[in-house]
Amino acid sequence: MSNMEITFFRVLREAKVSDDLAQTAVESLEEHIAMKIKEANRSVEIRLNLLIAITTIASAIGGYVSLIDK
C-alpha cells in the first residue's frame, strides 16, 4: 500500500467508515488510478510502435538503396 492509500484509508477510518468499506474504497481508487495511467500510456505506446515501424521500414529501404548503388 502506498503512502497515499494509507492516508486515504486512515481518513476514511476517522470518518467512521468500516474497515471493510474503507479497504474497498482504497482498492477501488487504486484500480481507477491504474486504469487512467494505462489509458494515458496507450497513446504513447501506439506512437512508439509507429515510430519503430517507420524506423524499420526506413532501415530496410536504406539497405536496398545501398545494394542498388553498388
In contact, 32 and 49? CB cutoff 8 Å: no
Question: Residue range 23-40: average pLDDT?
Answer: 93
- Regarding pTM above 0.75, the answer is no
Name the residue with higher pLDDT: 67 or 47.
47
Q: What type of residue sits at position 30?
A: E
| pLDDT tens, residue by residue, 36-49 | 999 999 999 999 99
**Cell numbers for 1:** 500500500
In contact, 13 and 26? CB cutoff 8 Å: no
